[in-house]
Structures are given as C-alpha cells and as structure tokens.
Amino acid sequence: FVDIIDEYPVAEFLLKLSELKLFEGELSNLQPTEKVEIYRLSTPLFTDYAQKLRFISIPEGGSMTYDGEGLPIFPNNTILAKTFYYYFDERDPSLGKIIIETRTMIKKSGVWNVGNYVWNEDQTDAFLDDESHGLTIDWIDEFGVEKTVDYAVPTYLNCITCHQNDGVRIPIGPRIRNLNMTYNSVNQLEDYISKGLLVGAPPLSDIVVLPNWEDDIEYTLEERARAYFDVNCAHCHQPGGFYNLQFGDGFDLRFEIPFDDTNIFENRLDILSRMSSNIDGYSMPFIGTSLIHDEGLALIVEYIESMD
C-alpha cells in the first residue's frame, strides 16, 4: 500500500527531505508524487558513474516559459532535485542500491538557492547538510567489473562554484536544448507543453536538440564532443563562469559557440592532460569527480586527434 500524496511539494529547505513531499510511499523507492515530474537529459553530467534521478516540481498554477534554447524561465517556488545513487550490481538493479544525496535547488523571489540532503545509513530519509562528506562505495558495473569510488558529497561552496554565473546562481542541466529529447516514444518538451508546464515555445522543429554524446549514429564526432563539453565543462568555461572569472575570458565551451571562438584547438593539449588526470586540483572537471571518465575521455581524445 502506498500513501498517495495529492498536494504540491513544499518549496522550502526543511530539515528532512521527506518534509518537502516530493515523494510518496517509502522514500528510498524515489517514487515522485503526481505533482512532480521526472526529467531526463540528452547528455547528462558525469559524476563518478553514479546513477541519477532528476525531478522538477512546478508550483500550482505555474509554468516554465520558453526563453530560447538555454534555461527556461522558471516560476518562483520551482524545485529541482537530483538524487545520486549506486546499484550494488548494475546488471541486476533488483539487488538494491545505496542512495547518497539529493541535491536541491529552489527558486524564491527570483533567486535560486541550493541545499543538499544527505541520506542516512538506514536509507529512510535524508537530512539538510552543508558539510562535506566522503565515503567509499563498491559496486559492480554493467559489464561485471568490480568498481570502487571515494565519493565526495559537495559543500554549499562547491555547489555554487559551478551553479553560478557572474554571481547569479543558476541551474545547469535543464536547458531547453538538453530537455528536447524523446523517451518512451514521447518528446519531453511536447509532454510539458501538453500539461501546461511549458508555455511560449515555438514548434519543436524550430528548437535546437543537444546531441546525445554517446549516439554515434545520429550525430557526428564533433557534435558529440561539443555536447559533452557543453554539459561537463561549459558552466565554468564561459563568460561569467568560475574559470573565466579567475583567469579571464577566451575559453568558451558552450555548444552554441562557433568552433573558432571556443579556443578548443589552442587548449587541446591541456584539455587532454587534465581530463586524463585524477590529481586533485589539476584534473578536470575541477569539482564533482574523482574518477576519470574513460568513455568521455575516449570521445574527446578522438575528437582532438581528428584536428591534426
């Protein structure tokens, strides 16, 4: 028996994740209420091979407003939540999982605020926590290979390092071009439009699609590599991003920027050196990973080698 929650989530940073009323039934099942939407991304951020479930709650009577291929305009009291977990054995999810954290952004009075909920050992709830936590996790991947990661739960400062541009806190993932994808034969944006959750959008054929970085059938090598950079790197490497504020403009990894204006070629050796390293403070991405993304690195190596 599952307790059905027929009310909108609470757009406040309360002590317990359960108090936000994003989920119904046993919390660890991560079953959203009917007022909460699961959203998916064409190219997601890499975070040490963690599994992720992404949720969005639009307040009663509210809707996202189309504002180009980047971020839509979210109404106040929007909640974005992303839960990170590992299956014990990716070949058989029924064997269970360990849930680590639920990162949350809530928009109030036009400003995005961030908070992180860290799950307890019993996996019964998660608690608002600004401290850094490290834990070692062992799991078996989809190929039957035993893996280990020293997972680091980010602090508030870690979060806003990436989720900030020119001092303004912003989401990273749910950009229109990255939401413009089909899942279970339904286009995600079309679904939002039909539910009244997205307004002002042009015909889908006029909206840019961010390539799936793994899809080498539909997309070229360059398109896939640029999509990977856009999601994993561009939040820091763009005007107003953390890197550019520290070291000056001139390195811009956003998908829409013409190649000659990105300086990818000029920085190609540094990109490969840092992506292939796991030395803290030198490796890239700067925050959020401790493992080298072998598949992502292979893509970027192939892309950069194709320039010679």
Same domain, 235 and 94: no
Residue 158: the pLDDT is 85
| Residues recorded for the chain | 308
Q: Which domain holds residue 131?
A: 1-210
**pLDDT at position 199 over 90:** yes
Supply the pLDDT for residue 1: 41
Same domain, 144 and 180: yes
Q: Do 134 and 24 sit in the same domain of this protein?
A: yes
Whether residue 128 is found in the same domain as residue 230: no
> Confidence band (pLDDT; 50, 70, 90) for 292?
very high
Quickly state the pLDDT bin for 5 (edges 50, 70, 90).
Answer: low
Instruction: Tell me, yes or no, whether 139 and 204 share the same domain.
Output: yes
Examine the domain organization and report whether 248 and 197 are in the same domain. no
Tell me how many domains the chain contains. 2
Q: Quick: pLDDT tens for 60-93.
A: 999 999 999 999 999 999 999 999 999 999 999 9
Say if residue 186 is in the same domain as residue 233.
no
Query: Residues 301, 166: one domain?
Result: no
Q: Give percent above pLDDT 70 in the chain.
A: 98
pLDDT digits (tens, 9 = 90+) for 117-156: 999 999 999 999 988 889 999 999 999 999 999 999 988 8
For residues 21-45, give the mean pLDDT: 97
Last residue of a domain, one of 210, 227, 243: 210
- When the pLDDT of each residue in the chain is averaged and rounded to a whole number, the result is 94
Domain boundary among 173, 193, 210: 210
**Boundary of a domain, candidates 153, 182, 210:** 210
Q: Are residues 176 and 228 in the same domain?
A: no
Please tell me the distance from the alpha carbon of residue 246 to that of residue 285, in angstroms, as a whole number. Answer: 15
The answer to whether 45 touches 235, Cβ cutoff 8 Å, is: no
In percent, the amount of the chain with pLDDT more than 90 equals: 81
Question: What value does the CA radius of gyration of the chain take, rounded to a whole number of Å?
Answer: 19
Q: What is the pLDDT of residues 235-259, one digit of tens each?
A: 999 999 888 888 877 789 999 999 9
Do 80 and 193 reside in the same domain of the chain?
Answer: yes
Q: Which of 254, 276, 260 is nearest to 175 (CA)?
A: 254
SS3 content of the chain, % helix, strand, coil (to 5): 25, 25, 50
186 and 40 inside one domain: yes
Of the pLDDT bands very low, low, confident and very high (cuts 50, 70, 90), residue 19 is very high
Q: What is the DSSP string of 43-111?
A: SPPP-TT-EEEEEEEPPTT--EE--SSS--BPPTT-EEEEEEEEESBTT-GGG-EEEEEEEEEEEETTE
Same domain, 198 and 231: no
* pLDDT of residue 112 exceeding 60: yes
